[in-house]
Amino acid sequence: MKKLLSLLFLLSCVVALQAQPCYPDVTYTAPGIYPDTVTNLPNAAVNQYYTGVITAVVPVDTVLYGMVATIDSIGVKNIAGLPSGFTWAANTTSAYFHGGDSGCVAIMGTPTTGMEGTYPITIYVESHGKLSGMPLTLPDTVKGFKIVILDSTNVGLIDSRQYPFAIKETYPNPASSNLVINVANSDAALINITIFDMLGQSVLSTNEKINAGENLIQLNVANIPEGIYFYTVRKGEQALTQKLIINR
């Protein structure tokens, strides 16, 4: 019975994780929004499924009107200006993230021919907290992000569009001793791969050189205990995070 309950709990965790549209990038610890509006979201490509992830690290307090205000939570109410057919979802059902915690929002969609161009987006947020012990709710907007949809007929962009920075595949998953991560990129680069446990602690980290196209990177995970993990592949300011299960 104990083993059955443990298995059911593990399966429920897996289902919950698979239902999440994104995972916060735990390598960011300072309060803020990542990537910033200078780095911006990755470009989209016509007829290719697109996912852009924004991670928010929420502070526990801030200065407002010259006084310290505590932050209970910050929520995303809406994202305006998305290309036609694009949607967004947070890693929490309410799209609210608690003070001192991290959350993420994924923007998803498949652009089609005729949608090429630049789409500035506006993120509408709402903050809840207390100022001098009094409850406080403040609406706000985040501007500066944009989604650029590239034209597949532009010969100068074909290579980078064919191999945007992405995790193409991870296998086997669940893994027992060896893991292969297929990372795609438009040119040669140095990346970092870090595996984190559910508490955000690093259990494995390695730097790898990759070439243009798809790269099969092998990792030895034999010394990592069984459980649910997530890993981040980072190239400069860009980061991709996915779930990993170790099971023997």
**Is the domain of 88 the same as that of 41?**
yes
Q: How far apart are CA 38 and CA 49, in angstroms?
A: 23
The pLDDT confidence band at residue 191, using thresholds 50, 70 and 90, is very high
Q: What is the pLDDT of residue 194?
A: 95
**Is the domain of 240 the same as that of 169?**
yes
Q: What is the pLDDT of residue 211?
A: 79
Classify residue 187: in a domain, yes or no: yes
Which residue among 105, 120, 155 closes a domain?
155
Q: How far apart are CA 222 and CA 204, in angstroms?
A: 11
Q: What is the CATH number of the domain that holds 219?
A: 2.60.40.1930
In this prediction the pTM is: 0.59
Of 14, 44, 25, 17, give the one whose Cα is nearest residue 160.
44
**Is the domain of 75 the same as that of 150?**
yes
Classify residue 27: in a domain, yes or no: no
Classify residue 70: in a domain, yes or no: yes
The pLDDT confidence band at residue 186, using thresholds 50, 70 and 90, is confident
Classify residue 58: in a domain, yes or no: yes
The pLDDT tens digits for 43-63 are 888 887 788 889 999 999 988
Q: What is the pLDDT of residue 162?
A: 56
Name residues whose C-beta falls within 8 Å of residue 101's C-beta, 6 or more positions apart in sequence: 58
Name residues whose C-beta falls within 8 Å of residue 177's C-beta, 6 or more positions apart in sequence: 220, 221, 222, 248
Which residue among 155, 181, 201 closes a domain?
155
pLDDT over 70 (residue 20)? no
**Is the domain of 99 the same as that of 141?**
yes
Which range marks the domain in which residue 208 is found?
Answer: 164-246
Contact indicator for 224, 248 with CB cutoff of 8 Å: no
Which residue among 132, 155, 178 closes a domain?
155
Q: Are strands 134-150 and 117-131 parallel, antiparallel or unpaired?
A: antiparallel
**Is the domain of 136 the same as that of 218?**
no
Classify residue 147: in a domain, yes or no: yes
Domain count for the chain: 2
The pLDDT tens digits for 63-94 are 887 889 899 999 999 999 999 999 999 999 99
